[in-house]
Chain A
Amino acid sequence: MRALAAIKADMLFQYRHGFYAVYFLITVFYIVLLRLLPPEPGTFLAPVLLFTDPAVLGFFFVGGLVLFERKQNLLEGFLVTPLRPGEYLLAKALSLSLISLGTSLAIAWLGVRVPFNPLLLLTGVSLTAPIFTLVGFTLAVRSRTLNSFILVSFLLTPVFVFPLAEYFGLFTHPLLYLAPGRGGMLLLVGSFRGISPTDAALSTLSLAFWVVLAFLWAKKSFYRYVVERGMVSW
């Protein structure tokens, strides 16, 4: 019940702070872009957009959310209510992932003019988005200023770069299986071009592993930086 209440509040919070409007505009932009391209390059580009969009937005939007919450002293207030840190994080991850899911489906349906496997797409997006949201939260509470948050966000670049580089055929390596973003990319590509059941299962497992790891890291950071050290104001 508490988690559900927190998700609802987060969604209203995001709506009132204009997050939905921004997502809507970006989605429309992507759909128009894909529509303007001929079908073949469009289908090639679609997984790239669908992979980077929830990842990048989830990451930066959670940074924005934490910033707004700090300014309104909300985190400090939550600490003395029965809301658990895990529920707080779950609400962040789920509410932002829901937007990603909605926009991904819209982009895939309206922007790409080839059939796709919605189950693979939904799995890929719904497991990729929480990783970036949770890591974004971890880095946001550790950052003293907004600028330092943007700086450390570059640490995440490899997570994007390796799966994309592999997709563009630049290089590949067996260890890439372990990279947090790769499973998401494989599932998204697979949703348009097909994927072996083994690869789909491995990708899903790898993503699930990273979601759990990101959740635990975020929870630890919540205790260390929010509960114990108090809020660092931006």
Chain B
Amino acid sequence: MGILVKDLNFTYPGAKQEVVKGINFEVERGEIFSLLGPSGAGKSTVQKILFGLLKGYSGTVRVLGRDMSRSKPDFYEKIGVAYEVPNLYERFTALENLRFFASLYAGLTRDPHDLLERVGLEDAANTRVGAFSKGMKVRLNFIRAILHDPEIVFLDEPTSGLDPSSTRRLKDILLEEKQKGKTIFLSTHDMFAAEAISDRVAFMVYGFIKLVDSPRNLKIEWGEKKVRVECRLKKDLLSQEFPVEGIGENPAFLSLIRENPVETIHTQEATLEDIFIRLTGRELK
């Protein structure tokens, strides 16, 4: 088991209201799991508990088999964390940053040059981070988090500030990590990022987890079971919807696609954002 959270409640010292209200979830080893929710939902608090930074919770939290209420500093040899706002020495070069952070770990660390190349920063290895763009900092911060080959990688808003090609590279690296059996825990309000890569997502709002499932199941379950066909009729675009059930024997559907040039055919799945709004009454942003 990668992560086990059972009946977790948390109230900040001195605060009256609970910020985490009886949540439950499990993350298997080798799974990519996303905690989706708007800011203020309690995602950061859950992460801090998973990192062993907040101890005064009630319930059970185990990460890599360790009880997080009594975690020891050597736990950090096993996890890698990339926060949304990069944690980097601005006046050190990219390489100096990676070498320093690598020196904090007892075990072997990956070759910083290889990692820099993976995220397209090889030419910036000897440039000070202060001169980096936001996206470059995010990429460097990401490889800093996987430098020591951690068992679990925690990423907070991983695509924030990244362009589409960098996002794709990041996704490829994460899928590779998953192949190696590593667990990935994402925390985000970006449902595209979550949908594209996650094995399962959890919807969190107002301190509760409303649901945990795979994006595919959610989209099928919550989507309308219809097929939309768009055909070109001279200059007009004809758009028609048909029930998915019995589509192969539906005469209207069959004659439409037989007699007209089809431009698109799509099943009408719901997006995660639609489902989130319908379930929680809140938008993700």
Contacts and interface: CB of A to CB of B under 8 A. Distances in A.
A and B found bound together: yes
Interface of A: 1-2, 5-6, 8-9, 12-13, 16-17, 72-74, 76-84, 227-228, 230
Given A16-B91, A73-B83, A228-B13, A83 B53 contact: no
B89 A9 contact: yes
Interface string B92-107: 1000100011011110
Contacts of A230: 48
B202 interface: no
Interface residues of B, number: 27
A228 B54 contact: yes
A83 B87 CA distance: 14
11 contacts: A9-B100, A16-B92, A17-B91, A72-B88, A73-B85, A76-B83, A77-B88, A80-B76, A80-B79, A82-B104, A227-B53
B136 interface: no
A228 B87 CA distance: 18
Please indicate which of the listed interface residues B83, B89, B92 has the most CB atoms of chain A within 10 Å of its own CB: B89
Given A74-B87, A80-B53, 19 more contacts: A2-B103, A6-B104, A12-B96, A13-B91, A72-B88, A72-B89, A73-B85, A73-B86, A73-B88, A76-B83, A77-B81, A77-B83, A77-B87, A80-B81, A82-B105, A83-B104, A84-B73, A228-B13, A228-B53
Contacts of A2: 103-104
Nearest to B145: A80
A81 B77 CA distance: 7
B284 to A, nearest CB: 24
Nearest to B12: A229
B136 to A, nearest CB: 15
Contacts of B101: 81
A61 B85 CA distance: 25
Contacts of A84: 73
Nearest to B85: A73
B109 to A, nearest CB: 12
B70 to A, nearest CB: 15
Contacts of A17: 91
A1 B89 CA distance: 20
Interface in B33-72: 48, 51, 53-54
B199 to A, nearest CB: 24
